Amino acid sequence: MSKKEKLTNSFINMFTTSLRTLRQSLLLRHDYLRQAARFSRNYSPLKPRTKAQFESRIIFLTHQIEKGLSHRDFRYGFGKKIFNSLPSMLTGLEKIDANAKNNFVYAYSISVLHEYVRRHQIIGYDLGWQKSLFSSEQWNSIINVPDDPKHACIEINRNDKLLNSTLPFNRLARNRHSIREFSNQKVTAEEIMDAVDLAMTTPSVCNRQPTRVHIVLNKKNISDLLRLQAGINGYPTPPALLVITSDLSAFMTEYERNEGYVDGGLFSMNLLYALESHGLGTCPLNTMFTAKVEKLTRNILQIPDNEIFVLYIAVGHFPEITRTCQSLRFSAKQITTIIK
Ligand SMILES: Cc1cc2nc3c(=O)[nH]c(=O)nc-3n(C[C@H](O)[C@H](O)[C@H](O)COP(=O)(O)O)c2cc1C
């Protein structure tokens, strides 16, 4: 090849690379806008419109009651904000679903509300205000659920976790529950590293392994981070906090822009099981921050710009006994569509 031809080729290469990079950059903006529009059309807003949107809000609020009911320091009369919203959401679902009484989410909420009432009635606490917010039909449904303390809460015993490393997968998976109260025993980085090692069996896109784990053991840092996170307020600071991030440097095209959350999510679930099998209790915690909280969090952790937050995992040893939310699940049938 002549010198002139070589120069021409290298110019063409440079030009096409720049064009492709520019195209990627424009597509990235375009696709983010389309993604935002789809999200905006479909998420569950303050005033839901569809059955699924009502159901999401009801599960969210019901879960807050489950959390309050499973709390070690039970606060009678808790949940003012929840009660200001949940009755109207139930009414909304009644309007949209003619068979609401048999709706899984509706019935789940009513049974958790029943447990709330039962726990208060034991000490004769006046629930007049709460009652006034529901329709008389709703209140009757709540009252008429048969008593069962397992509505809303389950009990976790440390002794039941002693053989975790030998459990077959179906028992490990069915016995794992998020706990939010831990024993005072310290957690070491070594204990966590063993579990991280096991979680490295997680598959990732083209084996590029974008997940990163930051282990926070400093109590002040954990407490500052969780105050900003605000999803586990009112619980003692856990002994360890894992920050799961994804390194964006692993991705090569604009359409991989969400891949870090997928790979990081798969890794996180595997890590939750690995920690459980090592006899450690966990609670995944949301890190979908507002821009302001993200900035403050990045500052505390010194997370580099190329890493995005996937989630936190609070980690600790199991206390002798603790309660946690029942967190009822949809059945496989409810969430599956078979395409033949
Ligand atoms: C991505 C993610 C974010 C979560 N964020 C919180 C949170 O901010 N606060 C909290 O108390 N629990 C949080 N959880 C825990 C869920 O409430 C819990 O996983 C769910 O109710 C199912 O219960 P289980 O983990 O016991 O099976 C989160 C879970 C996930 C997967």
CA-nearest residue, atom 6 of ligand 1: 285
Ligand 1 pocket test target in 178, 181, 288 with most atoms within 8 Å of CB: 178
Distance 106 CA to ligand 1 centre (A): 20
Q: Is residue 109 predicted with pLDDT exceeding 90?
A: yes
Q: Taking all residues of the chain, what is their mean pLDDT, rounded to a whole number? A: 96
| Complete DSSP assignment for 101-122 | GG-HHHHHHHHHHHHHHHHHHH
Please write down the HEC assignment for all residues of 201-223: CCCCHHHCCCEEEEEECCHHHHH
Instruction: Please tell me the distance from the alpha carbon of residue 101 to that of residue 36, in angstroms, as a whole number.
Output: 34
pLDDT of residue 338: 98
Q: Average pLDDT in the 221-240 region?
A: 97
pLDDT per residue over 113-162, tens digit each? 999 999 999 999 999 999 999 999 999 999 999 988 777 899 999 999 99
Q: Average pLDDT in the 79-84 region?
A: 97
The DSSP letter of residue 331 is -
CA-nearest residue, atom 12 of ligand 1: 285
Q: Is residue 334 predicted with pLDDT exceeding 80?
A: yes
Q: Is residue 88 predicted with pLDDT exceeding 80?
A: yes
pLDDT per residue over 296-319, tens digit each? 999 999 999 999 999 999 999 999
pLDDT of residue 150: 75
* Cα–Cα nearest to 212, from 224, 221, 223, 199: 199
Q: Average pLDDT in the 44-62 region?
A: 98
Distance 281 CA to ligand 1 centre (A): 13
Least confident of 9-18, 25-34, 128-137: 9-18
Distance 261 CA to ligand 1 centre (A): 16
Percentage above 90 pLDDT, the chain: 95
Q: Average pLDDT in the 234-261 region?
A: 97
pLDDT of residue 151: 76
pLDDT of residue 172: 98
For ligand 1, whether the C-beta of 178 sits within 6 Å is yes
Distance 294 CA to ligand 1 centre (A): 19
**How does residue 82 score in pLDDT terms, banded at 50, 70 and 90?**
very high
Q: Is residue 293 predicted with pLDDT exceeding 90?
A: yes
> Alpha-carbon Rg of the chain, whole angstroms?
24
| Burial 194-204, CB ≥16 within 10 A → b, else e | bbbebbeebeb
pLDDT of residue 220: 98
CA-nearest residue, atom 18 of ligand 1: 178
Distance 232 CA to ligand 1 centre (A): 10
Q: Is residue 2 predicted with pLDDT exceeding 90?
A: no
**How does residue 3 score in pLDDT terms, banded at 50, 70 and 90?**
confident
Residue 58's contacts (CB-CB under 8 Å, 6 or more residues apart) are: 86, 89, 90, 93, 105, 106, 109
